[in-house]
A and B are shown apart, each in its own frame.
Chain A
Amino acid sequence: MDINPILLLAALMVASTPILLAAIGELVVERAGVLNLGVEGMMITGAVCGYIVGHGSGNPYVGFIGAAIAGAALSFIFALLTQFLLTNQVATGLGLTMFGLGLASLIGQGAVGSSDLIVAKLSLPIISDIPVIGRIFFQHDPIVYVSLLLVASVWWFLTKSHLGLVLRAVGENHDAAHALGYNVRLVRVLAILFGGACAGLAGSYISLVRVPQWIDGITSGAGWIALAIVVFASWNPWRLIAGAYLFGGVTVLQLNLQAEGLKIPTEYLSMAPYLATILVLVVIRAGRAPGSLGKSFHPSS
């Protein structure tokens, strides 16, 4: 066995980033009382749009932005249906995933990229030279840091800002929030759009950095794992990091074991992330979900 633990941990951060990005978006959506099961669909649409825009413009960052816009656009369909036409959120989210998977494979036909599109690593000065720790934590592409900053900002927003308080009130009890004069729908639509943008960005990170290539079905369940992590984290932003890195760890470890040519056939190893998700859902008791999660809101009732 020859697995370098330092490289393994560094790879872990890269593998976790898309799940973390998608999960932090969904966390905000769920704290606003909306359950969007369309993460997988928004993510894969983001993956293909980011890939095409990034390679088309020659600039991966333009690709990331394009992917976030594509994800938000797709989530807007969900927002319209659930907030204004009061559709069932579970069914609509599933529809969004199916539609997104179809749309992505449609858009992605014949998508070609140049292989020289590289997202430069951002080595943070001084601290990246610290032995071991520097290699693991501080020699990554900027999006890895963006994802961590996003988690911190979301934590600050939810717990310290007035708007965050409003968002939580809407998620806990939409009738009370409405009675206090807050615009429940507006808050929810904005939260849904934020969730969509994060999912889109997460998808493009897979197609522009992690793999980096467009393959049909490339997200292979990462969006669903992100949903599971939100439950695992009990809707708490900091615990989200632990969850995402745990799954990144399982993924990277199984890939490394595959490369090592272990006795276990590779097919069975690639089940590991999904089985780990189930295991964690069973073992970890989730905290209390937001009070109005998944319920439709209509001002008249």
Chain B
Amino acid sequence: MLKLEKRPQPSKGWTFGAPILAVVLTVILGMGLFAILGKDPILATKVIFWDPLFGEFADLDRPDVIKKAAPLILIAIGLSFGFRAGIWNIGAEGQYIIGAIAGAAIALAFYPMEARWLIFPMTILFGALGGLVWAMIPALLRVYFKTNEILVSLMLVYVAEVLIKAMAIGALRDPDGFGMPGSRDLRRFASAANPDLIAGSGIHLGVVAAVISVIAAYIALTRHQFGFDVRLAGQSPKAAAFSGVNPNKLILICMAISGALAGLAGVFEVTGPSGKILGSFPTYYGFTAIIVAFLGRLHPVGIFLAGILLALTYIGGNLAEQSLGLPSAAIKCFQGLLLFSLLGVDLLTNYRIKFRRMGEAK
């Protein structure tokens, strides 16, 4: 008989071991999935996890991995504060989209003015503000009307998705685009473009921002009163209240941080790798970032590594789609499996498993 015994303290070893075990478990489950789809499981796993980093054409793939990892890390870092404190911003996808729309709108308003010193910082600022404002809706409603922030932030994702489509055929449509949906390509507008700092490296300012956010989050969590409040509110809301943490203020701050960072991810994406509203603008980062946050155990360094891993599944998934015909939906399944294994394996951190023979006294 298996028996669970609660550990007095979470296990230190399993705190690090659990995510690694979860990844191994997911790869095994994933191989089963690939086999069911009629693909060689070992080859598919190699194409997804090995080739983008060390394969024949890895020089071309590595910059892509960096470009994908940056927004995931940026959004997940923002989410991690709220998740620690029990504030569930599930709508980062919406805040990411609105960030892109707001940034692109302000940049295009100045088109074709040449004043990068003014337009570029303003574009980025408006992107962050756009995400922040979108996140403030569920935050304020939660504070003043006690509405559920999970549902409100999620509903706003659907609204944002409608909005970006409307913008692409409406206000932000490229006037020289022969009536096709989609905005002007911001990469070709020198005052607002966010190109690679070293051409072809994949490192643009969004990547720099992601790294800075990791460092800042680490300092905030370990060295700052705010980080202490967040951790306390998550572990024991009562103790937090006694020590003078204002729960409403915490909600507003956590939501503001996650909204602003998601907005930043959106605006760096639209001015950099994708360039346009709609068309090449990639979606679903806001949801994948939730997996990144959990896989990284809500810890900045963990999130950094998890972001790279999830970016790898995207790029490797693309490669597997091209070379093996693996459907892209399989990667979404794979990401879901990863979250399942991770949450399941977490049991080992908080509980001890004891083997007992049947009939033995308790």
Q: Give A residues with C-beta under 8 Å from B.
A: 37, 77, 81, 85-88, 90-92, 94-96, 98-103, 105-106, 109, 220-221, 224-225, 227-228, 231, 265, 267-268, 270-271, 274-275, 277-278, 281-282, 285, 298, 300-301
Contacts and interface: CB of A to CB of B under 8 A. Distances in A.
Given A85-B344, A85-B347, A277-B151, A98 B336 contact: yes
A231 B148 contact: yes
Contacts of B152: 278, 281
Given A224-B155, A228-B155, A271-B159, A98 B335 contact: yes
B336 A99 contact: yes
Chain B contact surface mostly: helix
A281 B152 CA distance: 8
B323 to A, nearest CB: 18
Contact of A277 (B155, B163, B165, B327): B155
Given A86-B350, A106-B332, 18 more contacts: A81-B344, A85-B346, A87-B344, A90-B88, A91-B290, A92-B340, A98-B339, A103-B329, A109-B327, A220-B158, A228-B155, A267-B163, A267-B169, A267-B170, A274-B159, A281-B152, A285-B146, A300-B5
B197 interface: no
Nearest to A99: B336
Interface string B96-136: 00000000000000000000000000000000000000000
Contact of B329 (A102, A274, A277): A102
Contacts of A37: 150
B340 A109 contact: no
B332 A81 contact: no
Contact of A95 (B145, B158, B166, B340): B340
A301 B120 CA distance: 56
Given A106-B329, A109-B327, A277-B155, A91 B336 contact: no
A255 B182 CA distance: 25
A39 to B, nearest CB: 11
A275 B6 contact: no
B141 A278 contact: yes
B339 A300 contact: no
A300 B340 CA distance: 24
B193 interface: no
Contacts, number: 132
A99 B337 contact: yes
Contacts of B154: 221, 224
Nearest to B86: A90
Nearest to A228: B151
B170 A265 contact: yes
Given A268-B166, A271-B159, A105 B332 contact: yes
B145 A102 contact: no
B147 interface: yes
B4 interface: yes
B48 interface: no
A87 B343 contact: yes
B189 interface: no
Nearest to A78: B340
A275 B155 CA distance: 7
B330 interface: yes
Contacts of A267: 162-163, 165-166, 169-170
A279 B199 CA distance: 48
Nearest to A100: B336
B90 interface: yes
A123 B334 CA distance: 46
Instruction: Give the interface residue-count category, chain B.
Output: 35 or more
Interface of B: 4-6, 37, 88, 90, 137, 141, 145-148, 150-152, 154-156, 158-159, 162-163, 165-166, 169-170, 287, 290-291, 294, 327, 329-337, 339-340, 343-344, 346-347, 350-351
Nearest to A229: B151
Nearest to B33: A106
Of all A-B residue pairs in the complex, the 3 with the closest CB atoms, nearest first, are A99-B336, A102-B332, A267-B166
Contacts of A271: 158-159, 162-163
B333 A221 contact: no
A37 B166 CA distance: 29
Contact of A221 (B155, B291, B329): B155
Contact of B340 (A99, A221, A265, A270): A99
B33 to A, nearest CB: 9
A275 B158 CA distance: 9
B150 A86 contact: no
Given A102-B329, A277-B151, A94 B141 contact: no
B339 A95 contact: yes
12 contacts: A85-B343, A87-B344, A88-B343, A91-B343, A98-B336, A102-B335, A103-B336, A106-B332, A227-B151, A231-B151, A278-B155, A298-B351
A213 B339 CA distance: 30
Contacts of B148: 228, 231, 281
A250 B169 CA distance: 25
Contacts of A95: 291, 336, 339-340, 343
A267 B170 CA distance: 10
A63 to B, nearest CB: 21
B39 to A, nearest CB: 12
A91 B333 contact: no
A300 B353 CA distance: 13
B4 A87 contact: no
A75 B275 CA distance: 40
Contact of B347 (A86, A265, A275): A86
Contacts of B331: 102
Contacts of A231: 148, 151
A225 B37 CA distance: 33
A278 B156 contact: yes
Nearest to B351: A86
Given A231-B148, A267-B166, A91 B294 contact: yes
A274 B344 contact: no
A70 to B, nearest CB: 15
Nearest to B153: A278
